[in-house]
Amino acid sequence: MTTTDLAIPFFPPDLFEGDREVLLRLLRETGTAPGQQFILGEQTALFERELAERLGAADVVACSSGTSALTLALAAMEVGPGDEVVVPAFGCAPLASSVLALGAVPVFADVDPWTMVLDPGEAERRITGRTKALMPAHMFSVMADLPTFAALAGQYGLRLLEDSAVAQGGVLAGRAAGLWGEAGVYSFVQVKTFGMPGEGGAVVTRDAGIGRVVRMLRNHGQDGRTRFRHHRIGWNSRFDELQAAFQRYRLPGLAGRLARRAEIAAYYTERFAPLAGRGIQAPPAAAPERDGRCFYVYTLLAERRDELAGHLAARGVASHAYYPLALPRQPAFAPLARPGDDWPAADRAAEQALSIPVYPHLTDPQVELVADAVCEFATN
Ligand SMILES: *Cc1c(COP(=O)(O)O)cnc(C)c1O
């Protein structure tokens, strides 16, 4: 039995089922429009403007992926050869590879043992004379402590890039995810909270200057006015018109979908609170008004993680172990690790983190079934 055969899959296979007619109409409209503009046209510009207005950002620049958004934003912050960027030791590969793509070196710092996001004290310990930037990332359901990272960046004169790829719609201390750093990023890949049927991402920023540079960098360093005049060494990281039109159509429903995710997460956290002494730790309960929370996935720390996953599968519930190796333990990045450095919390997260379904169109009985299955495992 594969996970897709389970009664409750980890990611819904019918994510865009209700949008099929609209998507087909937009495909026809885009494909038959007289302008034949398939990338970076009017729909992309409107999509960027609508996101920027909702956020109160100076600029939003749509690009080809969240990974690409990280690279473009780091490049706009002048990160390059010889520079170090402090990144979390637990997380996805782009946290390290985007830095390496620019010839800079990722320096891995440990995460908080409970929330699994970059620990500011651990990040501060890794700052050297070569450190150019800090790059904390929001994770499974808890946003990184950006107020403290902003203070650290100010104190040490560092650039601050917020990997908010999974936190679109999250708010921390009254400020939207993505606007705590000089720049932040979103990812629109299918499984993310504002996912779409394809690849895409965005750089968001409250600094119009960074926005201007990222706009050039995503399109071969051109300024958007004079074609074939290249001011910077750039990339091809452009955005599709069809996807922009589709995302504009889906944008008004985003807040409702995020609220449903938060509702499911709150139910899980309440059900799982008594399991803390029984080898299963739920994320911290959501603060009032969900401050500092985001629910891309919902992740437990389970002492017997693989057994729990097997138990859930036997009850028809798919789960997913994100990042079973800390980044500095990955063959690709291990050579960069400093001798003697260690990341005990990242290693433990890699062994114990297990994510359970939290997507918005889970029904209440499905949510209960998932919670029951977890509780049953912990109390047996
Ligand atoms: C998904 C993700 C990315 C990369 O986004 P893509 O659109 O898949 O390239 C970067 N950082 C984090 C934390 C992510 O979860």
Mutate to test the pocket of ligand 1, among 116, 189, 243, 247 (most ligand atoms within 8 A of CB): 189
**Alpha-carbon gap, residue 8 to 361, rounded angstroms:** 11
- Catalytic option among 138, 192, 215, 329: 192
Q: What is the rounded (10 degree) CA torsion for 77, 80, 85, 90?
A: 100
What is the Å distance from ligand 1's center to 307 Cα? 28
What is the structure's pLDDT at 5?
61
The pLDDT value recorded for residue 1 is 45
Q: Whose CA is nearest to atom 11 of ligand 1?
A: 165
Longest CA–CA span in the chain (Å) reads 68
Determine whether 132 is an active site residue. no
Report the separation in Å between the CA atom of 187 and the middle of ligand 1, taken as the mean of its atom positions: 6
CA distance 352 to 302: 5
160 CB neighbour count, 10 Å cutoff = 20
Could you identify the atom of ligand 1 that is nearest to the CA of residue 296? 15
Q: Any residues with CB less than 8 A from the CB of 238 and at least 6 apart, and which?
A: 39, 40, 63, 64, 218, 219
Which is the closest atom of ligand 1 to the Cα of 199?
7
Please tell me the distance from the alpha carbon of residue 275 to that of residue 148, in angstroms, as a whole number: 31
Phi, psi of 365 (to 5 degrees): -60, -35
* Pair 213, 222: CB distance under 8 Å: no
**Ligand 1 atom closest to Cα of residue 192:** 1
Give pTM, 2 decimals.
0.96
Ligand 1, atom 6: closest residue by C-alpha: 66
Distance 137 CA to ligand 1 centre (A): 10
Q: How far is the CA of 233 from the centre of ligand 1 (A)?
A: 23
Task: Tell me what pLDDT residue 12 has.
Answer: 87
Q: How far is the CA of 192 from the centre of ligand 1 (A)?
A: 8
Return the closest-CA partner of residue 126 out of 103, 100, 95, 158.
Answer: 158
Separation of 225 CA from ligand 1 center, angstroms? Answer: 30
**Helix H or strand E segment including 353:** strand 353-356
Establish how many alpha carbons lie within 13 A of residue 2's alpha carbon, considering only the half-sphere containing its beta carbon. 1
Residues with a CB atom less than 6 Å from ligand 1: 65-67, 91-92, 94, 137, 163, 165-166, 187, 189, 201
Residue nearest ligand 1's atom 7 by CA = 66
Closest ligand 1 atom to Cα of 70: 10
pLDDT of 368: 97
Domains of the chain plus CATH, in order, are 17-252 (3.40.640.10), 253-379 (3.90.1150.10)
DSSP string, 94-131: HHHHHHHTTT-EEEEE-B-TTT-SBPHHHHHHT--TTE
The H-or-E segment that residue 132 falls in is strand 131-134
Q: Are 279 and 122 in contact (CB under 8 A)?
A: no
Q: What is the pLDDT of residue 227?
A: 85
Question: What phi and psi, each to the nearest 5 degrees, are found at residue 251?
Answer: -60, -45
The mean pLDDT values, 10 residues at a time, for the chain of 380 residues are 70 91 97 96 98 97 98 98 98 98 98 97 98 96 96 98 96 95 97 95 98 97 87 95 98 96 95 95 85 92 98 97 97 93 97 97 96 95
Q: Dihedral angle at the C-alpha atoms of 148, 138, 65, 192, nearest 10 degrees?
A: -150
Are 353 and 317 a contacting pair, CB within 8 Å? no
| Nearest CA residue ID for atom 13, ligand 1 | 165
Nearest atom in ligand 1 to the alpha carbon of residue 138 is: 13
